[in-house]
Chains A and B, each alone.
Chain A
Amino acid sequence: AQSVSQHNHHVILSEAASLELGCNYSYGGTVNLFWYVQYPGQHLQLLLKYFSGDPLVKGIKGFEAEFIKSKFSFNLRKPSVQWSDTAEYFCAVNSGNNNDMRFGAGTRLTVKP
């Protein structure tokens, strides 16, 4: 089964700093890739997703992610974070022909005002 690794457990940034959260997966076949965000006390919401096509995917709230197949990576980026981006971020993957979704352990982002 596929697995997902998120390298950073807790990231602390000041407002306007740039963000990059790492995500690597282990699966050799076709994959669908996702980033979800969970604001404090809320459920997970989809930020962006990649199925095929342009490997640079743009999501909501200024987030983007780049799929690099050779590195099995799908890192999340944002040029300038805001205090309201404080949340936990989860990378997830499922293979192209099944629905077994696997999540990373999550990265907690704290943005200082």
Chain B
Amino acid sequence: NAGVTQTPKFQVLKTGQSMTLQCAQDMNHEYMSWYRQDPGMGLRLIHYSVGAGITDQGEVPNGYNVSRSTTEDFPLRLLSAAPSQTSVYFCASIGNNNEQFFGPGTRLTVL
């Protein structure tokens, strides 16, 4: 099992550009989530999904869209990037015992 994979590892955008952060898991987990990690603020939940076709907002959803067309994939879209979205983004999936498995992260810089 590859676990949770994320691409790209690093990305630099200009303000106003759009991009999609990819996340995939091969553990057949129903629940997947996206977090952003900022210094002194821990991880904050952006969006989550409890299964294919179902998504919901987390703590800081503004500026981000998600979709869940398959169990495996949970992409995060930035429609118009802003400097405030400079962060490290982690995707995670939850197993049967509520344990979260994290991806390696994507470091995004918005200029």
Contacts of A104 in B (CB 8 A): 42
Of the candidates B33, B40, B41, B103, the one whose C-beta lies within 8 Å of that of A101 is B33
Q: Bin chain A's interface residue count.
A: 20 to 34
Instruction: Indicate if B75 sits at the interface (CB-CB under 8 A).
Output: no
The contact size tier of chain B is 20 to 34
Beta-carbon contact of A46 and B99 below 8 Å: yes
Give the residues in chain A near B105, CB-CB below 8 Å.
Answer: 43
Contact of B94 with A by CB under 8 A? yes
Look across to chain B and name the residue whose beta carbon is closest to the beta carbon of A32: B98
Question: Contact string, B14-57, partner A, CB cutoff 8 A, digits 1/0?
Answer: 00000000000000000101010000111111001010000000
State whether A100 and B102 are in contact (beta carbons under 8 Å apart), knowing that A9-B40, A43-B90, A44-B90 are contacts in the complex: no
Assuming A99-B31, A99-B50, A105-B40, is B102 touching A43 (CB within 8 A)?
A: yes
Closest 5 CB pairs of A and B: A103-B43, A103-B42, A105-B42, A43-B102, A44-B102
Given A44-B43, A51-B98, A103-B42, 11 more pairs with CB closer than 8 A: A1-B59, A43-B102, A43-B105, A44-B102, A45-B102, A49-B98, A49-B99, A90-B42, A94-B98, A99-B94, A101-B45
A-B contact pairs, 24 of them (CB 8 A): A9-B40, A34-B100, A36-B100, A43-B102, A43-B103, A43-B105, A44-B90, A46-B100, A92-B100, A94-B98, A99-B33, A99-B50, A99-B98, A100-B45, A100-B48, A102-B59, A103-B42, A103-B44, A104-B42, A105-B40, A105-B41, A105-B42, A106-B40, A106-B42
